[in-house]
Chains A and B, each alone.
Chain A
Amino acid sequence: MTEEETGEHVPLEADLERLEEIVRLLESDSPELDQALALFEEGVARLRQARHRLAQAEIKVQRVLEQADGTLHLEEIRDPSE
């Protein structure tokens, strides 16, 4: 089974957790201006990514099949509502 077949590389949850962290850092006033700007830029990128993920989401349903040699194989179920 390839990496591509198994889930997202950076899950939305990780984006949101990092965003929380960035906001906390910015609100704490501790970073230098350069660092604050870098954090802000990263935050904006992650926000954009999170919104993109939420907007593009399309549910995926796959059937797990086992081959004769024991390896698992995924087969798309086009219309699970049937």
Chain B
Amino acid sequence: MLSSPPSLFDQSPSDAAWTIGRLMVTAKQVLERGMQSLWVQGEVSGFKSYRSGHWYFTLRDADAQVRCVMWRDDARRVRQEPAEGATVFAYGAPSLWPERGEFRFTVKRLIRTEGLGLQQALVEETRATLAAEGLLDAGRKRRLPAMPCAIALVTSADGAVLHDVVAVARKRWPLVRILVIGTRVQGDGAAAEVIHALQRAERLPGIDLCIVARGGGAREDLAVFNDLAVCRALAALSVPTISAVGHETDVSLTDLVADVRAPTPSAAAEMALADQEVVRHQVDALANRLAGGLRSRTRLASERLGRAADRLGTSLDRSLRDRRARADRLGVALDALSPLRTLERGYSMALSPTGQILKRHDQFFPGDTFRLRVADGEVPARVEEA
């Protein structure tokens, strides 16, 4: 366990006696360097919550016991104080308190086992947190777009998932654009990578849908997709989501948070994409209805036009008759007023070359030419010298 053998036993104690403080501080360092944080399981006893918010208790099992402390900030995140005798999983690191000479386990997380194994209990705890945040509500589920133009695919970079998704898309809906965001999906730091990938998906403009998919890999290693922060990042996406990371039998928490759960990446692609054959039939049906719609509309129009023409004919006839009668009446009146009738009686009319009627003496100058209008025509004329 000890990565680098410490100097604790190298020194001869006979040279100079150590102080107790030096003993404890050195032992504390050895312990803290030598042991990573880990999960333990045990029964809670002597639980005490101080006014400061810190918790003190003992964890025990059949063979041993350890004093535990849980600092305020960590204790605050536990949903419920553990009951006396409750079996819990506690995550933390061992330490020594020199001033009390005590070995202590500093607990960072505490969850009730509820009769489950550690992994299941962890998932249950996260599920409860997600539920409390409303992220599992059925009312949150969004409908998938009918015909997505662009899909973000968050997946392992190995290509197996991409291959499956592209194969389905090519057959079913080749109008789609698939934007692949590669990430590790298991191992240390994978959760942070998946979260980062989801955040990139959110930043891509024009995305209609995001699929989170896991390729092959260990069946039991769903830890990343049961991670609270990953689930929250998935829930935060503004586009609908499909999770295809579990298996037929086990469900991951991202499956529960996503709008739609798919058993496999291929199934996710089928759910996400319209079927082009179906859409082609839809287009054909619309074409028929469009033609039919116009035919019936024009038939109706031509019937209306026929009726309108009939009405138009009768009204035109009447209006023409009316006009002719009116014209006849006006013709008679005009005739009476016409200067031609006066000329008929033997009068004539002098007109200047510009057509002005010359009525008075002072309009005539010696040598001017003018026209004389008589009943059946005009006579050229000139004014004589006075």
Interface residue ranges, A against B (CB under 8 Å): 1, 6-8, 11-13, 16, 19-20, 22-23, 25-27, 29, 31, 33, 36-37, 40, 43-44, 47, 50-51, 53-54, 57-64, 66, 72, 74, 77, 80-82
Contact = CB atoms under 8 A, between A and B. Distances in A.
A64 B200 contact: yes
B175 A54 contact: yes
22 contacts: A1-B204, A6-B205, A12-B279, A19-B283, A22-B290, A23-B289, A23-B290, A26-B296, A27-B289, A27-B292, A29-B300, A36-B298, A47-B290, A57-B173, A59-B166, A59-B176, A59-B177, A61-B178, A63-B182, A64-B181, A64-B200, A74-B179
A26 to B, nearest CB: 3
A6 B298 contact: no
Contacts of A40: 290, 293-294
A72 B180 contact: no
Given A26-B296, A54-B279, 13 more contacts: A6-B204, A12-B279, A16-B286, A36-B301, A51-B283, A59-B170, A61-B162, A61-B178, A62-B178, A64-B200, A64-B201, A77-B162, A81-B166
Contacts of A27: 289, 292-293, 296
A60 B177 contact: yes
Contacts, number: 129
A81 B279 contact: no
Given A27-B293, A29-B297, A31-B297, A57 B177 contact: no
A21 to B, nearest CB: 11
A80 B145 CA distance: 24
**Chain B interface residue count: which class?**
35 or more
A80 B166 contact: yes
Interface string B163-195: 100110110011111111110000000000000
Contacts of B309: none
A29 B296 contact: yes
Contacts of B293: 22-23, 25-27, 36, 40
Interface of B: 145-147, 149-150, 152, 159, 162-163, 166-167, 169-170, 173-182, 200-201, 203-206, 276, 279-280, 282-283, 286-287, 289-290, 292-294, 296-298, 300-301
Contacts of A51: 283
B interface, by DSSP: helix, strand, loop or mixed? helix
